[in-house]
Amino acid sequence: MTKTTITSVEHRPPRLVNLWNIIRSQPAIVPNIPKIAKGLYNLLSVKPSQKKSIGRLLEQQAQRYPDSPFLVDDTQQLSYHQANSTVNRLAHLLQQQGVGSGDVVALFLENRCELMLASLAALKLGAVATMLNTSQRQDVLLHSINITNPKLVVVGEELVSALEPIRNKLPEQLGDNLWYIPDNSRQPTPTGYRDLFKHAETQPDNNLAATREVCLHQPAFYVFTSGTTGMPKASIMSHYRWFKAMGGIGMASMYIRKDDVFYCALPLYHNNALSLTLSAVLGNGAQMVIARKFSATRFWDDIRKHKVTAFCYIGELCRYLYNQPAQPDDANNSLRVILGNGLRPDIWMPFKERFGIPHINEFYGASEVNLVFTNALNLDCTAGCCPLPHAIVKWDVETDKPVLDKRGRMQKVSTGETGLLLAKVTDKSPFDGYTSNDATEGKLLRNVFKNGDSYINTGDLVIKQGFMHIAFADRLGDTFRWKGENVATAEVESIINRYPGIEQAVVYGVDVPGADGKAGMAALTLDCTIAELSLQDLTSYLRNELPVYAVPLFIRIREQQKMTSTFKYQKVELKKESFDVDAVKEPILTLLPEEARYQPLTHDLLTQINSQQIRL
């Protein structure tokens, strides 16, 4: 096997986009020119000051397509007319409770139609829907509620037990403003709660005058960060950004049509579901099938049952699906396009071919960032292009600072190089930020190329592929330096994941006494026993496939990887636990200098490493 240096930020040969790639994509684009034109018009023509909103769009689509299916889950199907009528009743009820423009309604439900309906009801009034993370508990849940200052809280029957332990700690004004939504049971409404849908039954179902006054610049949703490095922050998703996603991705990139069926197994508090999927569906009069939870074993049955043509993903979801035993009917589906981010290059083509997916619409974006890259041209192994202003700048991973020129300004990278992605803040691309002003300001970089400019620091290293295309490389905090070289964890993970017997690798850097930088460590889950894994063959493979500085010096064997509720690997805890065999109960292996294979890390070896008797 030949040695590759793709893990070095400076030396990785990227997959570039050339003119031939662009030309080759034209036959698929030509038939969709009307849809692309409509999408680009929606993307470029919307202005923050316009009186236009998600709630108003629902009204318009209910008038255009009254009988077309809109929302489907395990227990019900709602047409556009039925959904709009129910949302109106809920909105009238909320209005009676004093909810108006700028107020906040906190929603704590698992994936089901009622969550969508309640959130849309808040939006019709110009209020903000706080989409609480269903995995949050105790102090984290209380923190998330408090920082958004809701006027009332709506909780599903399935999550009352999670809210009850903090109920007495909630702000006083919420004492009489706890609302409840049953979950297909005949249980009585809990004491201290009111049944939202039951109280809404007697409300009128006409459209509200308040909806016509909502402007695009107003917040629509509060979406929470994963909280991997502290308490979660609430990022603001405005109607404006939601509409831009609708035009730029749902229309101009995915070409979603009225007859499309969009499957969503991601939690509705995740922006891929809430903003990208919902905007693609609602903007085009399509149908959204909501799965209660993601299930790798049930997934393809759902796809076939509902005749799904599109679904949303994150990279880990695709890997779960790919790791399932192959079936003869894997490609027997009606899929036309899938939308998501984080699909790694090592499974991109195998996943696409095995499941017969014509278009992988990978994108790059974040809840708090004002732009989106999207793979509109259906190229492979790219997050696509973006017409909005941005820059990719040189970044010193060791000092964690930008590389500046003689004038003290940042420097842009060349095509094929990796750098930090910055998103320019303009009148047409504003920064919605977080609910915390300090957090918002901390995300901005000012005077980057000239006095007065400002950019959002995405915190992501990307490859400049050419023709405005990028590929994700790594998170800033995940790339580390060892032996004077930069190591991008995402690329090391891709190499390790190719080895037979390894199900999933999570790579991170750890401190080693007496050594500069951080040594590589990989937490592995296996689809075989550790006894069946040849450590000598694995060592040879990694030394052949990776430069010496990128070969992990420590391996931790796990039964399963821990993930955040937004499907990100929990590396903070792994870094903290490091290779301390006295504290970690899972097996840890080490690769010592001059050794031919990984070996168990014992207490004696740990002592020698910590005392620098063994130098790595």
Is there a single domain that holds both residue 466 and residue 353?
no
For position 484, what pLDDT does the model report?
Answer: 67
Tokens of 220: 């629509």
Residues in the chain: 616
Longest CA–CA separation in the chain, Å: 78
Look at the block and give the residue holding tokens 């970089």. Answer: 445
Q: Name the nearest CA neighbour of 494 among 481, 504, 479.
A: 504
Give the Cα separation of 419 and 67 in Å (integer).
49
Residue 7 placed within a domain? no
More confident residue, 299 or 490: 299
Residue 465 placed within a domain? yes
Residue 438 placed within a domain? no
For position 297, what pLDDT does the model report?
Answer: 93
| Final residue of a structural domain among 433, 455, 475 | 475
Is there a single domain that holds both residue 123 and residue 160?
yes
Q: How confident is the model at residue 2 (pLDDT cuts 50, 70, 90)?
A: very low
**What is the overall mean pLDDT for the chain?**
91
For position 7, what pLDDT does the model report?
Answer: 34
pLDDT in tens, 305-323: 999 999 999 888 998 899 8
Residue 507 CB coordination number (10 Å): 28
State mean pLDDT over 4-27: 62
| Final residue of a structural domain among 314, 347, 374 | 374
Is there a single domain that holds both residue 323 and residue 410?
no
State percent of the chain over pLDDT 90.
71
pLDDT in tens, 436-462: 777 778 789 999 999 999 999 998 999
Is there a single domain that holds both residue 67 and residue 82?
yes
Give the Cα separation of 538 and 1 in Å (integer).
13
Is there a single domain that holds both residue 67 and residue 202?
yes
Is there a single domain that holds both residue 309 and residue 454?
no
Is there a single domain that holds both residue 174 and residue 255?
yes
pLDDT in tens, 48-98: 999 999 999 999 999 999 999 999 999 999 999 999 999 999 999 999 999
Is there a single domain that holds both residue 114 and residue 240?
yes
Q: What is the DSSP-derived secondary structure letter of residue 210?
A: G
Apex 447 CA angle, 441 and 451, nearest 5: 130
Lowest mean pLDDT among 216-230, 282-296, 521-535, 576-590: 216-230
pTM score above 0.95: no
- CATH number, residue 256: 3.40.50.12780
Q: What is the DSSP-derived secondary structure letter of residue 305?
A: H
Is there a single domain that holds both residue 468 and residue 484?
no
Single-letter amino acid, residue 468: M
547 in Cβ contact with 3 (< 8 Å): yes
Residue 5 placed within a domain? no
Is there a single domain that holds both residue 565 and residue 583?
yes
Q: How confident is the model at residue 565 (pLDDT cuts 50, 70, 90)?
A: low
Residue 427 placed within a domain? no
Q: How confident is the model at residue 4 (pLDDT cuts 50, 70, 90)?
A: very low
List the domain range (segments joined by +) for residue 556.
Answer: 480-610
Residue 564 CB coordination number (10 Å): 17
Residue 578 placed within a domain? yes
Single-letter amino acid, residue 58: L
For position 18, what pLDDT does the model report?
Answer: 86
Please, which residues bridge with residue 373 across strands?
A: 364
State mean pLDDT over 535-564: 91
pLDDT greater than 70 at residue 182: yes
Residue 435 placed within a domain? no
Give the Cα separation of 320 and 337 in Å (integer).
19
Is there a single domain that holds both residue 263 and residue 198?
yes
Give the Cα separation of 128 and 102 in Å (integer).
6
For position 88, what pLDDT does the model report?
Answer: 99
Domain count, the chain: 3
Residue 437 placed within a domain? no
- CATH number, residue 606: 3.30.300.30
pLDDT in tens, 317-344: 998 899 899 999 999 999 999 999 989 8
Exposed / middle / buried, residue 451 (Cβ in 10 Å: 0-12, 13-18, 19+): exposed
pLDDT in tens, 365-424: 877 788 899 999 999 999 999 988 999 999 987 777 899 999 999 999 999 999 999 999
Exposed / middle / buried, residue 131 (Cβ in 10 Å: 0-12, 13-18, 19+): buried
479 in Cβ contact with 576 (< 8 Å): no
For position 81, what pLDDT does the model report?
Answer: 99
Give the Cα separation of 330 and 162 in Å (integer).
38
Is there a single domain that holds both residue 179 and residue 322?
yes
pLDDT greater than 80 at residue 218: yes
